[in-house]
Amino acid sequence: RQWLEQKYRELNEREKKIKQLAEECSMIRLEMEPLEKWLVQMEGQGIVDELKAFLGRPVPEPVNESEALDEETDNSEELIELKGNPLRDEVVNLLGQVYPGMMYYRELLQCLEGMGYQVGGKDPGLNLIAHISTDKRIVRGDKRGMYGLSDDFAQELDSVKVNISVKSDHVIGQNRPAYR
């Protein structure tokens, strides 16, 4: 029994070490990615293939099944690219949730990503700002990068909600206060 317990401890320690090494490999891959892109732009894909061949065999991925499953699900979850009116509408919905407050454009990007959307382009932040800066429903805040709903649109939206609520009270026959 002691021998088996010792082997379990050794196995656990080695799995931790493998996990740590896999994380280090991931970080190195993330560091290499922009350099590879730059090298491809400068010298073409052939040089990257040559480097990979020179270094020998490819590095194996982590064998841990739970990590392998996590990586598969991460790759299969592709974000839907938003642009134009659908993008502006989603931003208006997000800003409506925090009204009268405002949101920083990077927070808006994070919320959109959390909802399964992405803003395309080289710089998604600038693209988001370019899309929402022309929308009359959205205003820029006093601080740089802050955006919120315009008061006129918020009042219009609020009056629509009140009218819908009053109509539903009348139809249903309940005496509920109007939603505000």
Domain that residue 54 falls in: 2-76
Same domain assignment for residues 70 and 6: yes
The CA distances from residue 39 to 25, 34, 49, 55, 58, in Å, are 20, 9, 11, 16, 19
Q: Is 166 contained in some domain?
A: no
The pTM (predicted TM-score) of the whole model is 0.47
Same domain assignment for residues 57 and 121: no
Read off the pLDDT of residues 37-74 as tens digits, 9 standing for 90 and up: 777 776 666 666 666 665 554 434 444 444 444 544 44
16 confidence band (pLDDT: 50, 70, 90): very high
Residue 10: per-residue pLDDT: 94
Q: Is 155 contained in some domain?
A: no
Read off the pLDDT of residues 148-161 as tens digits, 9 standing for 90 and up: 888 887 777 766 55
Q: Is 115 contained in some domain?
A: yes
Q: Is 159 contained in some domain?
A: no
Q: Is 102 contained in some domain?
A: yes
CB atoms within 10 A of CB 128: 23
